[in-house]
Amino acid sequence: MDVKRLFINMGILGLCIFSIMAFIITTQTDSNVATPITNNTLISSTYRDINSSLLSAQSQTQGASNTFSNVTPTQAYGELEVTSIISPTKIVRTIIVGLWNIYIKVPMVVLGVSPVVAGLISSIIIILVIIGIWAIWKGVIPQ
Amino acid sequence: MVRFTDLSNLTDTAGIGGLLSLPNTAYPYFWIWILGGIWIIIFLSLYFKEKERIGRGNLISSMAVSCLAILMLSLIGTIVGFITLEIMIYILVFSALIIGIWFFVGRE
């Protein structure tokens, strides 16, 4: 799995989980349920974290887009502006790892997923991200 | 002597919610087993229907789609009042886990 697909999957998964939780919370609030899921602090904080993480993704990528658009076409032929690609890849890493840390918290607490399993999957994801970003940089940074 | 919960424990104003939540007083995980059974029925029906229709079934996508159905059923359960907060959280987390796995391994 390449880093672009991992990033898109993480983002869409976040959106999917967020929309499911939002639907449940809205329906329960409208129906005046006695014990809504927001009574649970873990669920409540996860919902808030996913919301803020998805919102910050937009602002961060806007920043990267501005960096990219500020690149002037005055550089010599063959010389590439690497900061414009380093900035988005750093954001990709932050978003993937950040969202993963939010996702894994709830199953670890509620379903009792072992920290060993969570740690191993985290390691795999981080290694995939590093290799993926390295591959992107390698294609951009002149040899 | 152990006194088990029975229909005499229902009040006159309990309604359908009271009737359905009666088993929870004796065994708190009653509805999680019922919903689990419904989940298995939906998931296997979807899987074998797909297998019959196109020759091969996708196990994880059938599980994820049936999780969405169970989420909706449990949401209705919380509104009626027979699904407790604890059961709802278990169902939500389990469904999110299956849907997450579906996102990463289900597509080709």
pLDDT tens digit sequence for B12-63: 777 788 888 888 888 888 999 999 999 999 999 999 999 999 988 889 999 9
pTM over 0.80: yes
Residue type at position B32: I
pLDDT of residue A143: 41
Q: What whole-number distance in Å separates Cα of residue A95 and Cα of residue A101? A: 10
Angle at A72 between CA A68 and CA A77, to 5 degrees: 110
Contact (CB<8Å) A43/B89: yes
What mean pLDDT, rounded, does chain B reach? 87
Give residue-wise pLDDT tens across range A47-101. Answer: 898 888 888 888 888 887 887 777 776 655 556 666 677 778 888 888 888 888 8
Q: Do A34 and B104 touch (CB under 8 A)?
A: no
A107 CB near a chain B CB, below 8 Å?
Answer: yes
B contacts of A38 (beta carbons < 8 Å): none
Domain ranges of chain B: 43-108
Whether chain B has a CB inside 8 Å of the CB on A102: the answer is no
pLDDT of residue A82: 66
Residue B43 confidence (pLDDT): 94
Q: Across the interface, do B96 and A17 touch by the CB < 8 Å criterion? A: yes
Backbone phi, psi, residue A114, to 5°: -65, 140
Q: How far apart are CA A66 and CA A74, in angstroms?
A: 17
